[in-house]
Structure 1
Amino acid sequence: MKNTLYKITFHNHTKVYELYARSVAASGLWGFTEVAELVFDVHEGLVVDPTEERLRDEFGGTKVLHLPMQSIIRIEEVERKGQSAIRDASTGEKVVTPFPMPAKPR
């Protein structure tokens, strides 16, 4: 079913990532899970989520993501997309990516 949406939570280095995708399946690579058709918010206004932008920069061109099974924390089938997140693995707190600030004039 094309409208099925999954929330994938997984470890990536020292962070926990939460991404959304339309397709999750066993990978052809032994020990991996295949995640495809990643879903990102489309912002047409002035409000931009820096975490969403960081995830789009990292995974936007990804056709298929092969995640090691041991890195996956949870895969949930959800009704609608929530906010994607990057969290610190030890504390669970969101990692905030600040907007670049303009340099102070001298």
Structure 2
Amino acid sequence: MAKTLYKITFHNHGKIYELYAERVTSGSLWGFIEVAGLAFDVHDGLVVDPTEERLRDEFGGTRVLHLPMQSIVRIEEVEKKGQSAIRDAASGETVVTPFPLPAKPR
């Protein structure tokens, strides 16, 4: 039997985050959703997704994430993990920090 996997979409500081987790419960804190067992891709090659790395840096050491119910947009039970994302709340476009380019000499 396959593990249950959830896609959690929520607002955080003007952005919409999409994370995957193994457990979602209403929890013991009133007004909060507990999200545990966060799932991140493991990359062994040279190609690294900057959004996935940013999410891993921010939430990698988190055992349980307590999200206010008001910030939750959607919780979906999915069959397999898709691409985690951070999107701009206003435009819906993916937020990716571009690789810094050298400044033009004057």
Q: Same fold (TM over 0.5)?
A: yes
Q: Distance in 2 between matches of 1:14 and 1:52?
A: 18
**Structure 1 residue 74 corresponds to structure 2 residue 59:** no
Encode CA deviations 1:67-87: one digit per residue, 9 max, x unaligned. 000100000000111100000
Q: Distance in 1 between matches of 2:52 and 2:100?
A: 15
Matches for 1:28-67 after TM superposition, within 5 Å? 28-67=28-67
Is the contact between residue 16 and residue 88 of structure 1 (CA under 8 Å) also seen in structure 2? yes
Structure 1 vs Structure 2 CA RMSD: 1.6
Gaps of 5+ in 2: none
SS in 1 for 2:99: coil
Deviation at 1:98, TM superposition (A): 2.3
Percent identity (aligned): 77
Q: Distance in 1 between matches of 2:2 and 2:54?
A: 26
In the alignment, which residue of structure 2 is the partner of 1:19?
A: 19
SS in 2 for 1:58: helix
Aligned residues: 104
Q: Distance in 2 between matches of 1:25 and 1:72?
A: 13
- The two structures have a TM-score, normalised by structure 1, of 0.91
Gaps of 5+ in 1: none
Is the contact between residue 25 and residue 34 of structure 1 (CA under 8 Å) also seen in structure 2? yes
